Amino acid sequence: ISCDDAVAWMADITKHILDSISSDITEFAIKFKNSKRELVAVDVNGKETILIFTHLFFRVTLKHSGEVYALDLSGAQYGYYDPVAPFETCLEDRARAI
């Protein structure tokens, strides 16, 4: 899927836009434990395999409060339509592996 591309293409502009309010922006990778959408590959014999991809997003630490958020620019492809969530909540709700 294309979350790697979204994060790669948006990294510089995201860092520039959030520079005045963030002290740290880091790319972060997870594997979903409860993806709301699955990608199913079917081979020529009809065998189905559910594909699990590493998903990338940003971890943003705010300058003044130290609060940490997940900024997920491509989570909608997995059924997560809220692009900003508290980082720990995001990990607890979505991450199978980091």
Burial readout 42-75 (b: 16 or more C-beta within 10 A, e: otherwise): eeeeeeeeeeebebbbbbbbeeeeeebbbbbbbb
* 53-91 confidence digits (pLDDT tens): 888 999 999 999 999 999 998 888 888 899 999 999 999
3-state helix, strand, coil in the chain (%, to 5): 30, 40, 35
- Coil, strand or helix at 6: helix
- The pLDDT tens digits of the residues spanning 6-62 come to 677 788 888 899 999 999 999 989 988 877 888 899 999 999 998 888 889 999 999
Name residues whose C-beta falls within 8 Å of residue 19's C-beta, 6 or more positions apart in sequence.
none
- C-alpha 12: how far from chain center: 16
Give the pTM.
Answer: 0.79
